[in-house]
Copies of this chain bind each other. A is one copy, B any other.
Amino acid sequence: MLHIIKIGGNVIDKESDLKHFLSELAQIPEPKILVHGGGKLATDLSQRLGIESQMIDGRRVTDAETLKIVSMVYAGWINKHVVAQLQALGASAIGLSGADADSIRATKRPPKNGIDYGWVGDVSPENVNTTHINGLLEAGLLPVFCPITHDGQGQLLNTNADTIAASLAKALSQTQAVKLIYCFEKQGVLSDAKNEDSVISFIDTATYADLKTRGVVSGGMIPKLDNAFDALAAGVHTVVIGQAQDIKILATANNTKGTSIRK
């Protein structure tokens, strides 16, 4: 089963966490794809360069200068740093942006209600060019995607890593079984937000409806789970939500950690 694993900035930012995660990842025997987010480095670099980040509703506007910075930080430093570490761990990683091998195209997000997010791209599974990605997997390589894509017209675009992971999973599940693993801060979907140990180990369509009705899941967890069910509807075998440090367990067939989501 192909494993598509997404890690966020929280793992990238802490070198010891990243090291531990990568050493566990390298030990997963199945074919896999890693998608990484950005982390604080881009914000730090912008600040050091005196470039003000314009934020709208908590989202960064990607002007030309910011695009250059995120391309440098995500595709340059983070991506190559991760690839070199994986090589040292015996996993032959290959770092990619969506422009590489034309693997993921995106559409520049059009301004809406007067809000222009700039050079931000939206992807969908139809924008994933599976031929070359499957070729890399067949060659035994571990593709590592950074959250930068392109529009096919020469323009790079800043793109959400969660959506990249979901689009890859949906597109690649047309020809193989895919397990999509989202690593985030918590151990999984909690039945009690205040209790880190209250992980719900399994959710399907029926239990999800029940959990929503009873108000057990709410807030930011709803769009996350909606996206998971959306991926399942598009053919993804299983979605798992858990912590990066548990990746080896999350990747096993009967994972004893994290929340598994199936139709």
Cα(A222)–Cα(B214), bound, Å:
80
Cα(A49)–Cα(B50), bound, Å:
10
Q: Can you list, as one digit per residue, whether each of A139-158 has a CB less than 8 Å from chain B (1) or not (0)?
A: 10100000010101111100
Residues of B within 8 A of A87 (CB): 99, 102, 150, 152, 154
On chain A, the number of residues with a Cβ less than 8 Å from chain B's Cβ atoms is: 39
One of A3-11, A53-61, A67-75, A183-191 contacting the partner: A67-75
Residues of B within 8 A of A92 (CB): 101-102, 132
Copy number in the complex reads 2
Cα(A77)–Cα(B81), bound, Å:
15
Considering only CB atoms, which chain B residue lies closest to A157 in the complex? Answer: B84
CB within 8 Å of B: which A193-244 residues = none
Asked if residues B77 and A154 are in contact (CB atoms below 8 Å), the reply is no
Q: What are 6 contact pairs spanning A and B, CB under 8 A?
A: A68-B77, A72-B76, A80-B100, A83-B99, A87-B102, A93-B100
Listed in ascending order, the chain A residues whose CB lies under 8 Å from chain B are: 48-49, 68, 71-77, 79-81, 83-85, 87-88, 92-97, 99-102, 132, 135, 139, 141, 148, 150, 152-156
